[in-house]
Homo-oligomer: A and B are copies of this chain.
Amino acid sequence: MKRTKINKLLKSEGPIDDILIKGWIRTRRDSKTFSFIEMNDGSCLANIQVIADDKLPNYEDIRKINTGSSVSVRGKLVPSQGKGQKWEVQAEEFEIIQAAPEDYPLQKKRHSDEFLRTIAHLRPRTNKYGAAFRIRSDISYAIHRFFRENGFRYVHTPILTGSDCEGAGEMFKVTTLSAGRNDIQNDFFGKEAKLTVSGQLEAELLALALGDVYTFGPTFRAENSNTRRHAAEFWMVEPEMAFCDIEDNMDLAEKIIKYVIEYVFAECNQDLELFCRFVDKGLKSRLESIAGSDFIRLPYNEAVNIMKKSNEKFEFPASYGSDLQTEHERFLTEKYFKKPVIVFDYPKEIKPFYMRLNDDEKTVAAMDVLVPQIGEIIGGSQREERYAFLKSRMIESGLSLDDYWWYLESRKYGSAPHSGFGLGFERLIMLITGITNIRDVIPFPRTPKNIEF
């Protein structure tokens, strides 16, 4: 007999005579001749209640089983007598697959996030992390569906790369040489290979062939910092659109954030509810507000003006020519406008070489989307499509033209205006769940000195 998952059973429209469920025990309460057992199989947040009574031949063993044990139950789905659930299962066969020992770390009590990080192999079995990773899956799907509905193609840009898209350094090196050797000519690629920080440059090449494309894959940053917002390995979503200017780019950025929030409201209600109740009381109204508001569009210069004129005490006062700090981003979205803000037209000095120079020749067509609680969630730009401008910006930035000949050539053969952005996938999950530490939205996070599991 095939097992039925608990999320399906809980939605049943009537009683069922014979069902099979398999899962793990969350709690057990005994009365004289029977036990109430809460069982979860990971298909949803909710448990199903199982009634096991002393007519079962192994009832003595059942009365001893602990939280975390794996079991298989055959029985009837019947209307529940108790409150809080519509259906329960009257067990007719109750197989204990493996009884968990008494030292099972996830006993029924509240554990700290810090402790749970040390048992990342077990924490997906808790309500909170189960919900977080189900929502992570649902948001992933929403992203693919969004792009498909909008005529984009999914492309896989390389993870191993010889180039450095951000010009930022802080890349991991990849090698097959034994430790201590430096005869690069004998290395797998015969030259230095690194882990990508962005698939953008290659995505541009594909956009100039297929039209609208997006990547959705892992990216890496060897930044030796232990903050709540940084991980060494994280996933990025990077759309890239041919024949698209900075305005269209802003439209898409606003549209995808609203789409994902609405998708989660429609599809992930139970898991979302957990976050609204136990993680962040302000979550629901914040998400509703983001989904319902027109994002502010604000030139960088005006953003700096607003902060200069404000009486806010910043650790780093805002000044023209400096990038915005998280405290500035949060001031703009949380205090000043109280909604998402798209800041655009940044000074060219603080942005990478590939961004399109504006007619003022001082700013570039960059745009960052800032949201309450998170700060920057999207960074993007219109790309410099003009060969001569791109080349001189590359030289200015100290890039080797030889390393990027293929990128430059895309501006020689049928170049066209195009734009794109990078959406930090984990930041999006943090926005939607209210979880404030990136380590808690990635199943097995990678941070400095941390590569267990």
Contacts and interface: CB of A to CB of B under 8 A. Distances in A.
A120 B154 CA distance: 17
Interface string A211-233: 10100011010101000000011
Contacts of A243: 3, 22, 72
A149 to B, nearest CB: 11
A414 to B, nearest CB: 4
Tally of this chain's copies:
2
A42 B130 contact: no
Contacts of A144: 140-141, 144
A284 interface: no
A314 interface: no
A176 B104 CA distance: 37
Interface size class of A (residues with CB under 8 A): 35 or more
A37 to B, nearest CB: 14
B124 A137 contact: no
A133 B153 contact: yes
A205 interface: yes
A453 B202 contact: yes
Contacts of A47: none
B217 A42 contact: no
A15 interface: no
B156 A121 contact: no
Given A124-B205, A124-B206, A442 B130 contact: no
Nearest to A174: B172
Contact of A413 (B104, B161, B202): B104
Given A69-B414, A173-B175, A188-B222, A232 B195 contact: no
Max chain B C-beta neighbours (<10 A), residue from A22, A124, A206, A413:
A413
Contacts of A242: 22, 41-42
A222 B176 contact: yes
Interface in A126-149: 129-130, 133-134, 136-137, 140-141, 144, 148
Contacts of A233: 158-160
Contacts of A224: 188
A433 interface: no
Contacts of A217: 217-218
A70 B452 contact: no
Contacts of A11: none
A79 interface: no
B42 A156 contact: no
Contact of A160 (B137, B141, B451): B451
A23 to B, nearest CB: 8
B210 A124 contact: yes
Given A41-B211, A124-B205, A70 B416 contact: yes
A24 B105 CA distance: 61
Contacts of A153: 133-134, 137
A449 interface: yes
A141 B216 CA distance: 12
Given A160-B451, A188-B448, A206 B443 contact: yes
Contact of A174 (B72, B174, B211, B409): B174
Given A188-B232, A206-B443, A415 B70 contact: yes
A416 B97 contact: yes
B158 A189 contact: no
A372 interface: no
A202 B233 CA distance: 15
4 tightest A-B contacts by CB?
A124-B209, A180-B182, A179-B182, A42-B210
Given A122-B413, A140-B144, 8 more contacts: A3-B243, A70-B416, A97-B414, A121-B407, A125-B208, A159-B220, A176-B222, A188-B448
5 contacts: A100-B412, A125-B209, A157-B444, A160-B232, A179-B181
